[in-house]
Structure 1
């Protein structure tokens, strides 16, 4: 159930960031409504209710916009609709990443049927076939939804502007005494001496500037702790923001069921 809730949270994020078509939001609304009945933890239910409200608001906005456009057309065209004509464009097909809703419905129906000895066998067989079909479809789309197997973009080098602004300090007797006699540059492994120039990263690790530059020309992180610096790649920075948001959602879902007190089968 935790995995299902995580997927629903990810679907909500994808809807908000990538889709505006009413067909997607209408299907998403159905998923949120069904998921609300399946969760038992109050924080999960509250989050799903906010997703439901946002989906309803989006659909109302699209409907009002469509009605405004439609009234404008009717006032200028003066045409007629004949039998068989469509008054609106057909909705886009149900996105594959939302078939989880249908899967959960089928599982719930099949589980209810399994508890009755008199359940019609044809219905059970039909539900089983539906679940198998949906699982086959999910095999193709779940890797795009689950964050435990993301396709990360290639990490670009650190921003040249950020690197240029990194502070440089000069090693003094006082600093060297505080660091100890074995203090060294982690890249070249040379022991530090008085008057050495050291460039400091935001994580407070320091390196010789000539040693650090080639590294930051190819990487965006500290050679020791991997703390990341900002890059000039907008696509990569946007991906990091999305991953950060998804990680917060995963932590919230994990905290909601920590210890298993709210989990059920």
Structure 2
């Protein structure tokens, strides 16, 4: 199949760039004595070397004294963003110990042979200890308990279960009711 230019008998003055692989020694070489034979590569390598000097070799610290203000601003901005991301990354609280201890044990013979644990992807009919969440999802107990010690949700559907905070509030209410009843 001929190209558009061939079909219309148009000669192109621009040559097609040849593909090349950059050698890592050329990439990291900071001397200017080894020049490239391809003009585009020469300019490209100069830009890459400048970027390497600026960021990896600490070239930004040797610039004008006005850059100190910019560097301080960027440090403050990064610190603020990290603090905000850590503050909002709390997630759901852990499930209560009472809920974890009350998880039902399901015998392997009571489930279908194709059922898999959603966490570890092992076949549940080969597992020795299977448990069921209130939403109906089945898991290896060895997989689910560590999850519940970090989150009070089902790993599959995110149904919330009892958390330690809820247990504490219930106990406080029961204590208040006892005192004022």
Sort the TM-score into its range (normalised by shorter chain): 0.3 to 0.5
The normalised TM-score by structure 1 is: 0.28
Larger radius of gyration: 2
Determine which structure has greater relative contact order: mean sequence separation of CA pairs < 8 Å that are 6+ residues apart, divided by chain length: 1
